[in-house]
Amino acid sequence: MTAFTRSRSAKILAGVALLSVSAMVVAGCSSTPSDEPSDGGGSSADLTLKLGSLLPQTGSLSFLGPPMESGVGLAVKEVNDAAAGVTIDLTAEDEGDTDTKAYETSITKLQGAGVTAIVGAAASGVSRLILDGNVSAGILQISASNTGPDFTDWDDNGLYFRTAPSDLLQGEVLGNLIAEDGHKTLGVIYQNDAYGTGLFENIKSTFEGAGGEVVADASYNVGDGQFDAQVETIKAQNPDAVAIVSFDQFKTIAPLLVNAGISPDKFYLVDGNLSDYGSSPDTNFPFSLEGAQGTKPGPALEDDFTDRLQTFWTGEGNPEVNDFTYAAEAYDAVVLVALASLAAGSTEGADIAAKMAEVSGGTGDGEKCTSFADCATIINDGGTADYDGYSGEITFDENGDPQGASIGTYVYGADNLISRTN
């Protein structure tokens, strides 16, 4: 197994960094990272960007590990292959979750490795626990999947970004979907943390705003393994539909709901549990999820992108990715950090952060481009790049939130695999 297998830390430094276009004319130019930002005309020397990733190799979100890690790894490879003035040295560590607390050891390792930017964490709950420390250390943090609304107003000194939209949007889309399907009553089982309560509140307000009624709700705590009481609370009110806001606890909750007489075609899932279960050896649902629906952020992915992800990931000795949830957001996070570093002529977290809105089109002054290589050419030629990625146009606002994000809706077939419906 190579360094990108999910069971160990990883470092990538692809090849020897080549001199950038702007550095070629200066004989003997230093290859160490610049400590000063440029005036926006691109890098004045080759930059080695120490990037960390903190993603769930274990824990309740571990099913998101392969798509997100493959997105990060592919982006690192393509940035380094471009040899356009910035080379990424990647250190990958396990996030775990708020129950296992693997992130505590991992974040210490990443900071000890001297990273100046981190992709992660996947869980909003973990990011809340590490963000202040990263801000104090001057480390830029960009998450591909944090959806908690509170990050918009976080006191982050301009160092926090995300390529996934707030739960405010996903909750609205799911609440409307349930109402549009003709359901009048709804039960909700949700995780008792900021992620779960935030989604629950937005699903409820949207559904009831559309004329429906949430007749039962039941929460559970992270780390719980028994959900009989929650299922009984829902069953007692016999709702038309049931929304399950969870991570992989869904694999335990779903059979309990079915045993209670609630058919899967009444289920509505969210990004934390919407996965292809048909090929998952640790699930083995003794029933079909056919008709169950759910939502998750992101546009429909191009086949070429998913093919590149699979080729990269399996080429590193890993099994195929089962689904691609947040893969595009993770890929785009790396590309945007690399472009901002190139535009700043620096690998310091604050300098990179100062260019993130610009390279994403947030300033409205850039030239559209859709790959790191093409955007880097614009920057190295003295222009301003506006990157549109696989997760959308992104376009960071002053809070580091992406604008114009899309939420996809999905339905399960008899094989327990999802297909997009919008």
Q: What is the pLDDT of residues 380-408, one digit of tens each?
A: 999 999 999 999 999 999 999 999 778 99
Rounded to an integer, what distance in angstroms lies between the CA atom of residue 421 and that of residue 296? 12
What confidence tens digit (pLDDT) does each residue in 244-272 have? 999 999 999 999 999 999 999 999 999 99
Residue 18 has pLDDT above 50, yes or no: no
- Local confidence band at 194 (pLDDT 50, 70, 90 cut-offs): confident
Mean of pLDDT values over 188-199: 94
pLDDT, residue 7, reads 35
pTM for the complete prediction? 0.81
Question: Burial level of 112, CB count in 10 A (0-12/13-18/19+)?
Answer: exposed
Pick the residue with more confidence: 24 or 365?
Answer: 365
CATH for 10-164+304-387?
3.40.50.2300
Q: Alpha-carbon distance 349 to 131, whole Å?
A: 13
Instruction: Give the orientation angle of helix 124-136 with respect to helix 102-112, to 10 degrees.
Output: 30
pLDDT of 36: 42
pLDDT at 60: 87
Note the pLDDT tens digit of each residue in 319-374: 999 889 999 999 999 999 999 999 999 999 999 999 999 999 999 889 999 999 99
Beta-sheet pairing, 407-412 with 418-420: antiparallel
Beta carbons within 10 angstroms of residue 165's beta carbon: 22
* Cα 12 to chain centroid, rounded: 20
Portions of the chain given CATH number 3.40.50.2300 = 10-164+304-387, 167-297+406-420
Of 6-20, 172-186, 212-226, minimum mean pLDDT range = 6-20
Residue 303: what pLDDT?
86
How confident is the model at residue 27, as a pLDDT?
29
The percent of residues above 90 in pLDDT, for the chain, comes to 79
In this prediction, residue 285 carries a pLDDT of 82
**Lowest mean pLDDT, pick from 11-15, 115-119, 221-225, 351-355:** 11-15
pLDDT over 70 for what percent of the chain? 88
Question: What confidence score (pLDDT) does residue 253 get?
Answer: 97
DSSP assignment letter at 212: -
- What pLDDT was estimated at residue 58? 96
Retrieve residue 29's tokens.
């130019």
User: In the prediction, which pLDDT does 405 show?
Assistant: 77
pLDDT at 281: 54
Q: Which CATH class is domain 167-297+406-420?
A: alpha beta
User: Phi first, then psi: what are they for 184, rounded to 5°?
Assistant: -105, -25
For the ranges 14-18, 21-25, 374-378, the maximum mean pLDDT occurs at 374-378
pLDDT tens figures, 105-154:
999 999 999 999 999 999 999 999 999 999 999 999 999 999 989 999 99
